[in-house]
Structure 1
């Protein structure tokens, strides 16, 4: 008996391209560069055989990364607070409708840990693999990279959808991170 594979959701870049908005595409590209750099840092921390270091580094990276990505889309908590009340309501309604759980929120370690629990099995395998010399550390590094990329891509997709649906005018210049 064959099982049907779940279709992959479109990437953030595909979603942005579908909107035809060049500023949205640029925001995704800038955010992905940032995400890649942070994921490489997570991979290095994951390869270190010190138990728990990778989780602390991942939480620290995500607590900075999520707001930086949100800023590229005009969706940080400060940017949303500066919107007109009608526009702010539209953003909040769009977030609620689309389920962007990290948009416009103060990102704390607790919020990051709840998001990471969704990847519990992957994180458990990452911890266990550290105890296998060399090959295990390579697996742990790959899983660390993939975990951060996955969470970042999820947030990017949420930001693209919310920015597009709510009609957010994107910041003209992006902060270089």
Structure 2
């Protein structure tokens, strides 16, 4: 006889109020990491900002997934029905990083989707002082936008799972 394990709901925020608290904590984390990204963008060495952004984003995405109970390991602890719901909700919300193992290639693809801002940032860094400020501002904006989108996708998935959560 195969023993059926019960889903570990304690990892996922249990109410709309808890989801909102986690969302705000994560948005604060996004802003702090975006400042770090902006600092790397201000350094006038081509490529250093992209390497920095990939590392910072990787940690950020994993931290956000963990806060919402949506890392691959946490989702794996749910029973198959709820795992499927989590992944369907993530796809439906456009959350391509929700519940996924974050790879360098996936992050570079995501950053390339912000192409115009990245290209502008690269060109701007060659204009002394003002260009570095523009590059830093664009770096902050792009990083924050990607982070906020991921926070919103995770919150939406958590909200969907909360709606079907057994009481």
Q: What TM-score comes out, normalization by structure 1 length? A: 0.81
In the alignment, structure 1 segments of 5+ residues that lack a partner are 1-19, 170-177
In structure 2, the residue matched to 1:167 is 162
- Aligned mates of 2:71, 2:117 — CA distance in 1: 29
Pairing partner for 2:51 from 42, 47, 56? 56
The Cα shift of 1:36 comes to 1.1
- Aligned mates of 1:28, 1:97 — CA distance in 2: 19
Q: For 2:46, what is the secondary structure of its paired residue?
A: coil
In structure 2, the residue matched to 1:102 is 97
- Aligned mates of 1:158, 1:36 — CA distance in 2: 17
1:1-177 matches, within 5 Å, as 21-167=16-162
- Aligned mates of 1:156, 1:83 — CA distance in 2: 21
- Aligned mates of 2:143, 2:160 — CA distance in 1: 26
Rg larger for: 2
Point out 4+ residue stretches in structure 1 off by more than 3 angstroms. none
The Cα shift of 1:79 comes to 0.7
For the aligned residue pairs, the C-alpha RMSD in angstroms reads 1.5
* Structure 1 contact 74–168 (Cα < 8 Å) conserved: no
The Cα shift of 1:110 comes to 0.3
Q: For 2:96, what is the secondary structure of its paired residue?
A: coil
Matched pairs, number: 150
- Aligned mates of 1:98, 1:144 — CA distance in 2: 25
In the alignment, structure 2 segments of 5+ residues that lack a partner are 1-14
The Cα shift of 1:168 comes to 7.7
- Aligned mates of 2:84, 2:123 — CA distance in 1: 45
